[in-house]
Structure 1
Amino acid sequence: MTGTDGIEDLLRTYAPQVLGVLVRRYGTFDTCEDAVQEALIAAARQWPEEGVPDNPRGWLVTVAARRLVDQVRSEAARRRREDSLALATPASELLAHAADEEPGTDRDDSLSLLFLCCHPELSPPSRVALTLRAVGGLTTGQIAAAFLVPESTMAQRISRAKQTIREAGGSLALPPGEDRTARLAEVRHVLYLIFNEGYTASGGDRLTAPELSTEAIRLGRLLHRLVPEDTETAGLLALMLLTDARRPARTGPHGELVPLAEQERGRWDAGLVAEGVELISRTLPQGRIGPYQLQAAIAAVHDEAESAGDTDWPQILALYELLEHTGPNPMVTLNRAVAVAMVEGPAAGLAVLDGLARDKRLARHHRLLATRAHLLELLGERGPAAEAYREAARRTTSAPERRHLTERARDLG
């Protein structure tokens, strides 16, 4: 494996494993994470020219441990802290532990790292950033570019997150019982946030940020491998696969947004569709059904329809009603309104939207206005529909969505 893309994939695979080794041995998440990042950067520079080592994981552990020693020595020399790692553990002992020449001799701490990066003391944006860097192996610059913020801003966010973990005494020990269940739910939510930002960027000139949705799926596969018995994790992975399968058809030749009903379904990734359908079909009968499984089932109904006209809207409406019961939130109700409109007519869908207009969480959201515009258009109310499209365009922060909504308004006159 000598290609740059292959090496990058390899580094992302090993990133959490190497970090897990260092944190388990030396216990300082923040300095260990910095050292692993430096090792990943060194590998990205050297391996394309020198070739991938026979034991890439051991190479990364050794280099990261050396970087850790350098960091600690520098810190000890500057601050003379009696409790520093360099004074507590001789550098020679650090490097002796770091050799790790035998592949596979250390356990995989990826699940523990995911739990640590989703520590309850962290805010959702901090959990996302720290997960992408520590478990995903992305650099600060890559994360900043994906979220359209300055690298310095993202660096500060990651630094604060690591400081919070240190102050909270975070460790690789898996939380027990109910705490573990709750933390696993947080991990799933973080991966869901990462995927959504990649599938529909919240701002900027691009509709999608494929590097984020691809990374969310990779981490979703990892999480599913680590907790194969968890049906909601399987549901989340299936949802991401079935949704991402449509990405090639979501934009036109100039990056313009193409709505689901107008997409060329032959451009959908048939392999991802088949994998997602198989996974959710195998998962649903296994146990208690949760929101991610229901969303995946809805995505499967869409993806299995040969055309927009063949979509089984009554089944989708039934699934949305069940989803609203198990995991109510305004976005679910918004999507149910569309299903109601397709089954019972646009007027019935608009009646559902009237109730949402009183919900402060969604009242001024551009998606509520865009959905209202679409249903008004179906009802033949061209003037009110055009005005709703224009107002939705004013409120969105996504340039492709703004252009699409503006064009819809223009077409209606």
Structure 2
Amino acid sequence: MTLLDTPLVTDDPGLPASDFFDQVRARTLALTDPLTPEDMGLQSMEDASPPKWHLAHTTWFFEEFILKPYLPGYQSADDRFAVLFNSYYVQAGPRHTRSKRGLLSRPSVPEVLSYRAHVEEALQDGLARQAFSKSVLEIEDLITLGCHHEMQHQELLVTDFLHALSFNPLLPAYAPAKLAPVAAVAEHGWTCHDGGLIEIGHSGQGFAYDCEGPRHKVWLNPYKLADRLVTNGDWLAFMEDGGYENQALWLMEGWAVREKNDWDCPLYWWQQDGEWWSFSLQGPRPVDLSAPAVHVSYYEADAYARWAGHRLPTEAEWEHAASRTAITGNFLENNTFAPVGRTNSLWGDVWQWTSSAFSPYPGFRPPDGAIGEYNGKFMVNQMVLRGGSCATPKAQMRASYRTFFYPHQRWQMLGLRLAGDR
């Protein structure tokens, strides 16, 4: 089964956990369908992981947090995998060094796939026999968490692999081109919002990560949001106006990072014969001026917003606006693997930087045990992004969903939407 004919992961809240599990696991494997065995072990930097590791780590998650503690008699396919494929869960035991995941030529890809099959069979068999030592509802909640965790790794798998491919002089494509023709984009308009005392955070209905709650009140002054994302054409105007050379536009730390890394354009851009090109999952392409700008850091997004005479939205502003809009846009399921824009939707194409630090909401308490390390210990020095991207499964999306990255990072599908005061 190839990526293009794999059933999509549904966001139907009534879908049984076992069916959701099957859909998510099949989708992950389908994402590796275009890859060669040599591709599966590539790691281009410490922030990224090899595709093979993603396949194994997401399997370890179900094994570590469901099968080992709650399925009597369960035996791992290989107890050593617990060290190799634990990511950052200190309470779950020792871990292989993150920066050396690309050195794991063993276990082989077939062994990792066998490990996945072993865990899948054990989990489905345990459900069928009602053999778990926790209640069915508690196990289903853990399975749902594991599926959402795996969907996060689906996004990481393709964006990590894009970074690895970018070092290949052949500039190979991960997927065939499916982009729409270049089209003109009008000047952005604004949607206006009254603000006031509002509530943000997960309402308690359906799945959410712990960091999305508790729901709480926030005061918003009247504000406005741009009705479209910042485009490559907008970004080129910033570049041509000296945006990367004008220190007055930049946060002090951002300017230092820009100088250290010699940034003068988004990641994966280069100029050739007077034309700007970019590298994408579809290979090298002329920069589409109408498509959303992508692969820019928080520092760059903040400098651009200042240059444009506006600002980035807070996450509360974004959520307040998004909570009243349908989730439509270009997501992973579209199989374009590139932001295409041309929509007034608040969702999809690129993650949108906000000006909000990733910090706990009032009353936040992480769950007990290793699973409580999922989000809470990362609540420092990172910024929140909202809205999902062309590499995000749509089934993950909800208004309260918060992702987060360090302000210097660019390899994810990161872009921006402007905001302002009214």
Using CA pairs below 8 Å that are at least 6 residues apart, which structure has the higher relative contact order?
2
Q: TM-score range by the shorter chain?
A: under 0.3
The structure whose Rg is larger is 1
Give the structure with the higher percent helix. 1
- Structure 2 length normalisation: TM-score? 0.27
